[in-house]
Structure 1
């Protein structure tokens, strides 16, 4: 086999899928990229068994065709340091000895047989299909992923739940302390279905998805999901199990509603939380007419802080405790200039929503309170 390829085009494709390769693999071949040469197309695959990424690059002056694997480290490390130039791959079909010729030299090593690389099982005929714009998928994953759990006892909480209704798609994530529910009203489907996308492929999507309005094809059955764009394909094993009824934990009657500038609140929390106990990260939120007092203290080190922020609030005086790190995460994942903080009492979850949702979106975030010391 022989072909020419642009060094920068090849490196870009390799880097885009290399993040799926695990540090320690159960199968040694998974430390490698799988290459399939067919005509002027070089298809490249990387996998960790659970998740499989495929991309492709155009090649020239092709002689022959075939399947072979090359160590990811051998491919990536030298290419990172090479300036843009054509590379010539010359592969001996008999023993898979590989020569890579370039302007100032050559690399020589032995490849591996590609037929030992694990193959992907096809989706079932009952697989559900959904077309979704890249930006919509990116927005849903980006703003919900931070709320997923790392819970070995409840694996269903360790991913982003896609709740597909005929009129909209809801992205949900929760770790039991915080919850994100993002409805996209512009995504429609023929019926009801759902799946749980694990955290690793969700994180990979954040770097893979093009920042355009390109349509992504999403297919899934009970076990696997398949996503395809013009640049890549992803196949990943889904988390099996039933996701909890997330709507039942969202309080609907919250008498105390506060409208506050998001950045003022966020920055005050970041400053005040420095003085909270490292063990609990507890901050106290005190509401009074048109004013919020954010305070924290660490009794062990005799440190404390307090800041006052102007807000729109006309209810009775009220205090509630929250974990500062969670509240900061939530406010950082809302884009609106102002947010509405909806509270019922100090023992019930607080609901945080933007004053203005983005077009065709309905975003709600929920945070469980903490017990105040006083």
Structure 2
């Protein structure tokens, strides 16, 4: 078998596929890429048993059908080090030879039959989204996922298919993000939880794409299909918590403030915060916001005053500076609105937008008990 492919294109696709390859596995074959030629077309596949990613790559193949597995790390290292050139991959029974302008390189191949088969892709339901829409939704929520494996449902992003909208939700119990697409509706209400790793793989694959993504799902798997790329991953088998129940509905105390200035202030203030609690205090009085922190263990203090547009009663409330900073960093609007009710209830942060897009985003951060 002989395959001719451009080195730059191959390197680009291998870098996307590498995100799936596990760092450590009891199955050595999972450390390989599977090259599959069918009807003269080349498809490269990576899998970790939970997630399978396959990318069809432009190439000239001398045979109609065939496959082989090759070390992912070794192949990426040599391909990315080669200049932009046309590569020829020559396959024999035991080795793969790579011919380039720079030289010839040989590496062992593994038995392709040992590579895990692609999961069942028969889907019960389907929905289509533009690639940039899906990428924005996933990137807006991914940072808020949890890491506690004992609460597996919080380690992924929930896709909540509703009759009126499609909602993407992520929370780690300290912060929560709810991203809503009002232009995508579903005949059947359904919640699916996608693990963090395949989302990171998918967002990487979606980068710069200008095409439609077809999403199909059944009880155990979800698939994302584009023109030359297909990703299938296993869903988290758990029930997502009632996220609507933790979002306060009545929040009469609000302030509108410049997002970038607030974020800079929080970063400066947090330098002096307690290294365990990361606590800072918002003291809202009229159209003025005072942010202060104190670390009594080291006798450190910091205070800054910012101008805002305030409404409702004056309020003093504590937040975790790290969580607040993550939320503001993942928004892009010039100004944000912060809604609060009481010192022991969550604060809601939403962007102030002037466009009439079919999406909306709500971010929530839990309060921290103010130290006496």
Normalising by structure 1, we get a TM-score of 0.95
State the shift of 1:64 in Å.
5.5
Give the whole-Å Cα distance in 1 for the aligned partners of 2:279 and 2:293. Answer: 7
Work out which of the residue numbers 128, 131, 146 in structure 2 matches 1:131. Answer: 128
The residue that corresponds to 1:337 in the other structure is: 334
State the shift of 1:353 in Å.
1.3
State the shift of 1:245 in Å.
0.9
State the shift of 1:112 in Å.
1.1
The residue that corresponds to 1:13 in the other structure is: 13
State the shift of 1:48 in Å.
0.9
Give the whole-Å Cα distance in 1 for the aligned partners of 2:117 and 2:161. Answer: 29
Number of residue pairs matched by the alignment = 371
The residue that corresponds to 2:218 in the other structure is: 221
State the shift of 1:123 in Å.
3.2
Give the whole-Å Cα distance in 2 for the aligned partners of 1:357 and 1:296. Answer: 34
Give the whole-Å Cα distance in 2 for the aligned partners of 1:61 and 1:23. Answer: 31
Instruction: Classify 1:109/1:264 alpha carbon distance in 2 versus 1 (closer, same or farther; 3 Å).
Output: closer
Instruction: Classify 1:221/1:326 alpha carbon distance in 2 versus 1 (closer, same or farther; 3 Å).
Output: same
1:362 counterpart = 2:346: no
State the shift of 1:263 in Å.
1.3
The residue that corresponds to 1:189 in the other structure is: 186
Give the whole-Å Cα distance in 1 for the aligned partners of 2:203 and 2:354. Answer: 22
1:3 counterpart = 2:3: yes
Equivalent residues in 2 for 1:248-267, closer than 5 Å: 248-267=245-264
Give the whole-Å Cα distance in 2 for the aligned partners of 1:237 and 1:222. Answer: 9
The residue that corresponds to 2:89 in the other structure is: 89
Give the whole-Å Cα distance in 1 for the aligned partners of 2:56 and 2:121. Answer: 21
Find the residue that maps to 1:230 and give its secondary structure: coil
Give the whole-Å Cα distance in 1 for the aligned partners of 2:311 and 2:360. Answer: 26
CA contact (8 A) 1:288 1:315 kept: no
Work out which of the residue numbers 108, 127, 145 in structure 1 matches 2:106. Answer: 108
What is the Cα-based RMSD across aligned positions, in Å? 1.5
Find the residue that maps to 1:83 and give its secondary structure: coil
Give the whole-Å Cα distance in 2 for the aligned partners of 1:14 and 1:37. Answer: 16
State the shift of 1:335 in Å.
2.0
The residue that corresponds to 1:326 in the other structure is: 323
The residue that corresponds to 2:56 in the other structure is: 56
State the shift of 1:310 in Å.
0.5
Find the residue that maps to 2:271 and give its secondary structure: helix
Cα deviation 1:189-211 (Å, max 9, x = unaligned): 33222200100011112211043
Give the whole-Å Cα distance in 1 for the aligned partners of 2:22 and 2:354. Answer: 38
Work out which of the residue numbers 199, 205, 208 in structure 2 matches 1:208. Answer: 205
Instruction: Classify 1:10/1:169 alpha carbon distance in 2 versus 1 (closer, same or farther; 3 Å).
Output: same
Give the whole-Å Cα distance in 2 for the aligned partners of 1:113 and 1:201. Answer: 26
State the shift of 1:119 in Å.
0.6
Equivalent residues in 2 for 1:260-275, closer than 5 Å: 260-275=257-272
CA contact (8 A) 2:37 2:61 kept: no
The residue that corresponds to 1:147 in the other structure is: 144
Cα deviation 1:62-115 (Å, max 9, x = unaligned): 1463111011122111111111112222212xx332222222321122211111
Find the residue that maps to 1:275 and give its secondary structure: coil
1:282 counterpart = 2:282: no
Instruction: Classify 1:61/1:162 alpha carbon distance in 2 versus 1 (closer, same or farther; 3 Å).
Output: closer
1:241 counterpart = 2:238: yes
Give the whole-Å Cα distance in 1 for the aligned partners of 2:329 and 2:61. Answer: 50
Structure 1, unpaired ranges of 5+: none
Give the whole-Å Cα distance in 2 for the aligned partners of 1:260 and 1:109. Answer: 59
Instruction: Classify 1:201/1:83 alpha carbon distance in 2 versus 1 (closer, same or farther; 3 Å).
Output: same
